[in-house]
Structure 1
């Protein structure tokens, strides 16, 4: 069974380590108890959207970036071969531009 909280915790830990920050630094900056943040990172606790937003801010990372990474990891676990592209296809942009010019 896929546990979203586990993937969220893994992603938060990975971003924290990439930024070179300690658990204590992030917890303090996010105003979250150190033990609680540790449990979130280990996938033992579900973090509220408010906690996730505070931790994302403490990591200087948009919550959308964190959630996109979580989504990408879940897609891999689920075996989804085609991941939604990060950019809009040129054909769609051209059609949209043409529609706007026609107005």
Structure 2
């Protein structure tokens, strides 16, 4: 069974690591308990929309980008062959440029 919370946790961890941030740094910036954020990243706890917004802000990544990545990963796991790409090219370019700088 595919669980959204596991994929969301994996995506949050991947973005955090790409930004070379520790769990402690993100938890501090997001005002979220370190242990709770760890459980979210491991897919053991569901993140509320408020927690997700705080973590996304701490990572300086739009929630839409996080959710898009989760959706893409779920599509692969579900064997969906074609997922329409609706993210504007300029937003993708801006995000990629921002990641390259950090």
TM over 0.5: yes
CA distance in 2, matches of 1:73, 1:84: 13
CA distance in 1, matches of 2:84, 2:13: 24
- Give the alignment of 1:8-87 within 5 angstroms: 8-86=8-86
CA distance in 1, matches of 2:52, 2:64: 11
State TM-score, norm by structure 2: 0.84
State TM-score, norm by structure 1: 0.83
CA distance in 2, matches of 1:45, 1:54: 16
CA distance in 2, matches of 1:16, 1:52: 13
Deviation at 1:85, TM superposition (A): 1.9
CA RMSD of aligned residues (A): 1.1
- Say how many residue pairs are matched: 88
Which stretches of structure 1, 4 residues or longer, exceed 6 Å deviation after superposition?
none
Deviation at 1:49, TM superposition (A): 0.3
Matched residue SS, 1:75: helix
Q: Gapped runs of 5+ residues in structure 2? A: 89-102
